């Protein structure tokens, strides 16, 4: 049986500071997207598969209030211990992987509710930050310690051998 490492699944490639946020949003939204795609036409690419196009710095940043961005950062901060816990576990079968994903999604949903953000708001902030360098810098400046933690997680994920 092939062994799947959760961290390889979630952090296969080096990502930007907010890459972990986008991964979180993508994993959370995947079941919703799959449910919604049952009625969608074949041949349409899911929205989260499309690569966001960069914009002029500052274009998207001004759309967001500080409290909304703080909520976004709070959700990411909440998810770090969850991601660390799940990424340290070896997954040996589909049922265990499914159970881990359900735990991850449940904790993410709880954090989103606690910080008064919808999945769509969370995804939009993450996507916009990957498109607008000024917004990404604004988020980093709001919580440099979170940025350091995410960078450390990415570095650790890159150092793990593939299995």
Q: Of 2-6, 99-103, 145-149, which one has max mean pLDDT?
A: 145-149
**Mean per-residue pLDDT for 5-13?**
38
pLDDT at position 24 is 55
Q: What is the per-residue burial (b if ≥16 Cβ within 10 Å, else e) of 1-37?
A: eeebbbbbbbbeeebbbbbbbbbbbbbbbeeeeeeee
- Residue ranges per structural domain of the chain: 4-9+16-29+57-157
Cα–Cα separations (whole angstroms), residue 33 to 16, 47, 106, 163: 24, 9, 16, 29
Helix (H) or strand (E) holding 91: strand 90-91
């Amino acid at each position: 049986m092939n062994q799947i490492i959760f961290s390889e699944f979630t952090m296969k490639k080096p990502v930007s500071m907010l890459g972990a946020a986008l991964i979180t949003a993508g994993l959370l939204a995947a079941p919703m997207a799959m449910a919604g795609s049952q009625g969608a036409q074949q041949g349409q690419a899911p929205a989260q598969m499309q690569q966001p196009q960069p914009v002029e710095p500052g274009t998207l940043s001004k759309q967001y209030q500080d409290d909304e961005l703080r909520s976004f950062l709070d959700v990411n901060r909440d998810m770090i211990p969850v991601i660390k816990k799940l990424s340290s576990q070896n997954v040996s079968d589909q049922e265990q992987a499914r159970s881990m994903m359900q735990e991850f999604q449940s904790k993410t949903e709880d954090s989103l509710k606690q910080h008064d953000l919808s999945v769509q708001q969370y995804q939009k902030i993450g996507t916009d930050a990957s498109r607008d360098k000024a917004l990404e810098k604004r988020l980093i400046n709001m919580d440099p310690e979170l940025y350091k933690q995410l960078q450390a997680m990415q570095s650790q994920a890159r150092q793990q051998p593939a299995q």
